[in-house]
Amino acid sequence: MSSLPPLALYIHVPWCVRKCPYCDFNSHTLSGALPETAYIDALLADLDAEMINVQGRPLTSIFIGGGTPSLISGAGYQRLLAGIEARLTLDPDIEITLEANPGTFERERFAGFRRAGINRLSVGVQSFDNDALARLGRIHDADEAVRAIATAREVGFDELNIDLMHGLPGQSMATAMADIDQALSLSPTHLSWYQLTLEPNTAFYSHPPTLPEEDVLADIQDAGQARLEAAGFQRYEISAWSRSGHEARHNLNYWRFGDYLGIGAGAHGKISRPGEEGLVIERRWKTRQPETYLARHDDPRGFLAGHRRLSRDERGLEFLMNALRLSDGVPRALWHQHTGLDELRLDAHTEAAIARELMFETHSRIQATPLGLLFLNDLLALCDDSVLARS
């Protein structure tokens, strides 16, 4: 199994109390009682159908996202994680992350998550400014966010991520920096700090709010980066900052082009397997509608909505789309290990970007230059065009 990438597990919980106007994830407003027992049964049946893709590998991490995963009880997660452990080998120091909404926090609920074995919490704050939260459609206010994070600490979550957005409607430099300062005062080990974008199929895309001008956005990015670095946080990925040794292992697996099983309504997975010409890499995705997903419990094969094998060029480009997001890049050896492609194909993808000084030319690492990180979309377009021109 040494020739296959590490394996993680993504679990999707599709319900929310209310759909946010900027959200393009597979999330659905909950009406009525949460079908917790039935959904956990379906998740485990879905996992049973995915077991053929494990190929003897232990799980390095589990990430539970949504939606609002903190709607499910601690007892529910205890049953789910016990079911996973009965089916799979877990790394002794496995990272198990839960996304939590401050609007759903209760002390006993958070304590239940910790008792279930969840050891990393990612709290979706987005902003500590009440006016901004109202414009974003969030169901919590700033005080609830502060109390939720304090409670998470009190019940034993040593690994704590705060999700923050910037470039919000009406946001100034002062309010953006106030958000960072408030987050830092709560002593997280990790910050996800990313710019609001208007995605298709969202309310904000249909009715766009007025966002800060480009020069203001650039100033906020520069000032925020300086503020976080001064506080001892390292930018290890485009939108991810952490104290040393507290990087999100699950997300690092994505960015290093590792494998992951995806279970739950709308979940996506990436699986590698040996093939005649090296690795075969497949993308897999599950049916999106929660009601349809639950109805397919009796036929586990019915959870799968589609799958697609990546071509050689797609394998190379997708690897680079992930790896080049990392500030330090990845070891060059991962190219062959995680794509099955040879060095000549890597050179074909990267030579134009290296010539434009958007990537470093090195025999040991695949890494964007500071300029490449600043213009990542342009860098990736060059990596794509350079191969298509040779096809």
Strands (E), 196-237: 234-237
C-alpha distances in Å from residue 304, one per residue of 25, 50, 171: 18, 10, 41
- Mean of the pLDDT values across residues 270-295? 92
Coil, strand or helix: which one is 249?
helix
Residue 75 to residue 357: CA distance in whole angstroms: 52
Residue 76 CB-half CA count within 13 A? 20
**Cβ pair 335, 278 in contact under 8 A:** no
- Please choose, from the candidates 303, 249, 253, 258, the residue with its C-alpha nearest in 3D space to the C-alpha of residue 12: 303
pLDDT of residue 290: 95
pLDDT for the residue numbered 302? 84
Q: Is the confidence at residue 386, as pLDDT, over 70?
A: no
Contacts for 206 with CB less than 8 Å, ≥ 6 apart: none
Instruction: Say what the pLDDT of residue 387 is.
Output: 60
Give the pairing of strands 365-366 and 330-331. antiparallel
Q: What is the mean pLDDT of residues 213-223?
A: 95
What CATH number does the domain located at 312-390 have? 1.10.10
**What does the pLDDT read at residue 391?**
45
Give me the pLDDT at residue 180, please: 98
- Asked if pLDDT for residue 1 goes beyond 50, the answer is no
Q: Are 43 and 265 in contact (CB under 8 A)?
A: no
Q: Is the pLDDT of residue 251 over 80?
A: yes
Q: In the predicted model, what is the mean pLDDT of residues 344-351?
A: 92
Distance in angstroms (rounded) separating the CA atoms of residues 189 and 210: 32
pLDDT tens, position by position, 161-196 = 999 999 999 999 999 999 999 999 999 999 999 999
A 10 A CB-CB count for 286 gives 25
Domain borders along the chain are 7-252, 312-390
Tens digits of residue pLDDT in 21-55 = 998 889 999 988 999 999 999 999 999 999 999 99
Indicate the angle between helix axes 312-323 and 343-355, nearest 10 degrees: 50
Q: Which stretch of 55-64, 100-109, 237-246, 318-327 has the lowest confidence by average pLDDT? A: 100-109
Residue-wise pLDDT for 86-102, tens only, equals: 999 999 999 999 999 99
Going by pLDDT thresholds of 50, 70 and 90, the confidence category of residue 267 is very high
**pLDDT tops 90 at residue 218:** yes
Angle at which helices 173-185 and 214-230 pack, to 10 degrees? 20
Residue 2 scores a pLDDT above 50? no
Give the model confidence (pLDDT) of 295-344 as tens digits: 987 776 789 999 999 998 899 999 999 999 999 999 999 999 999 999 99
Phi-psi region of 261 (alpha: psi -120 to 50; beta: other; left: phi over 0): beta
Tell me if residue 318 falls in helix, strand or coil.
helix
Residue appearing with tokens 């766009």: 208
Fold of the domain built from segment(s) 7-252: TIM Barrel (3.20.20)
C-beta of residue 195 within 8 angstroms of C-beta of residue 217: yes
Determine the Cα–Cα distance for residues 274 and 1; give it in Å rounded to an integer.
10
Q: Is the pLDDT of residue 6 over 60?
A: yes
Q: What's the whole-number average pLDDT of the chain?
A: 94
Residues whose CB is less than 8 angstroms from the CB of residue 334 and which lie 6 or more positions away in sequence, other chains included: 256, 257, 319, 323, 366
Q: Rounded to the nearest 10 degrees, what angle do helices 74-87 and 107-116 cross at?
A: 10
For residue 388, the model assigns a pLDDT of 53
Q: What is the mean pLDDT of the segment spanning 216-231?
A: 96
